[in-house]
Chain A
Amino acid sequence: MILVTLGTQFFPFDRLVRWIDELLAQGVIDEPVLLQHGETTPTRPMHPLVTAIYSLEIGEMQEAVRRSSLVVSHAGQGSARMLARLGARFVLLPRLKRHGEHIDDHQLLFAQAVARLGVPHCTSRTELARYILQPPAPFEGELFKAPSLADHLVLRFG
């Protein structure tokens, strides 16, 4: 199973939904897809292998991640951290401003920033197809193994 998660932003992310549908039609994806679409309600009938759901409870999401051979996620920080923590095979696909998918390109900046920590991301359908045919290794380690800013603020301000 491939899990596709678009987050719960108000902005639509039709591009990724369309790409998944096209990759299914082409046979690049030949396994069931669980699509967590949030506010991006699919506007056309999806391929029969797709199960579309508005949002998953945190436990359901973790269970779905464990059952997946690959997770394709928008480049939200919360999603990325969860996927890293669960040691998932995942690839980030940032929402972009020029397609009206977010207010700015911070998801792309975030994806580029975590790329140095070994988190893969892609911005084109061709790259996405490559990750589907050859999923990345399960993520190992922690995404942000760094001191805690909260601890610093406690020391600084009490």
Chain B
Amino acid sequence: MKILLVCNPGGHFATMQSLRKFWSAHQREWVTYERFDTLQLQEKEQVHWVIKQEAREVWRAFANFGKALAILRRSRPELIVSTGAGLAVPFVLAGKLLGIKTVFIESISRAEDLSLSGKLIYNLVDELYVQWPECTVRYPRARYMGVAI
């Protein structure tokens, strides 16, 4: 299966790396922006570098939405997987518009409440995984199937 892995640098990138057992078996492309940690991807993986988009940077999210549409049209993945944070929003939205299946994995920091990104895409994303069972209480669409570490 062809998958697109979408994550911000830092902890979200580390979480995605911890899912290697899953994504390594698939044809894949990455979406992130440049930081000292994500830069190491360029040697081994195919990466689409997008605009740095940190928390609540709405205009940058709009710009990345445009990039998301272009990347998805060109790459045609069957599945988009995001471990957050903000980059998940434009890519899940674009995926929804193009009829591509989407999966969002909430940060392990969120034990009872979703992140802003999680809340924004809650009703759009096909599957949403949280890493604490308690987090499914307020969010019945969310599922707890273990942790990504």
Give me the interface of A with B, judged by CB distance under 8 Å: 9, 76-78, 81, 103-104, 106-107, 109-110, 112-113, 144, 146-154, 157-158
Contact = CB atoms under 8 A, between A and B. Distances in A.
* Interface class of chain A by DSSP: helix
Nearest to B3: A157
A68 B14 CA distance: 26
Interface string B1-44: 10100000011001000111110011000000000000000000
A148 B19 CA distance: 9
B64 interface: no
Contacts of A144: 108, 147, 149
Nearest to A112: B111
B109 interface: yes
Interface of B: 1, 3, 10-11, 14, 18-22, 25-26, 54-55, 79, 81, 103, 105, 107-111, 115, 129, 131-132, 145-149
A150 B108 CA distance: 14
Contact of A154 (B10, B11, B22, B111): B22
B7 to A, nearest CB: 14
Given A77-B108, A149-B19, A157 B79 contact: yes
Nearest to B18: A150
B71 to A, nearest CB: 20
A148 B147 contact: yes
Contacts of A152: 129, 145-146
Contacts of B111: 109, 112-113
A154 B22 CA distance: 5
Given A110-B108, A113-B111, A158 B25 contact: yes
Contacts of B21: 148, 150-151, 154
A149 B110 contact: no
**Most-contacted residue by chain B among A106, A149, A151 (CB, 10 A):** A149
B1 A158 contact: yes
B105 A149 contact: yes
A110 B129 CA distance: 17
B22 A153 contact: yes
A96 B108 CA distance: 17
7 contacts: A103-B54, A107-B109, A113-B132, A152-B129, A153-B22, A157-B1, A157-B22
A132 to B, nearest CB: 26
Contacts of A149: 19, 105, 129, 131, 145-148
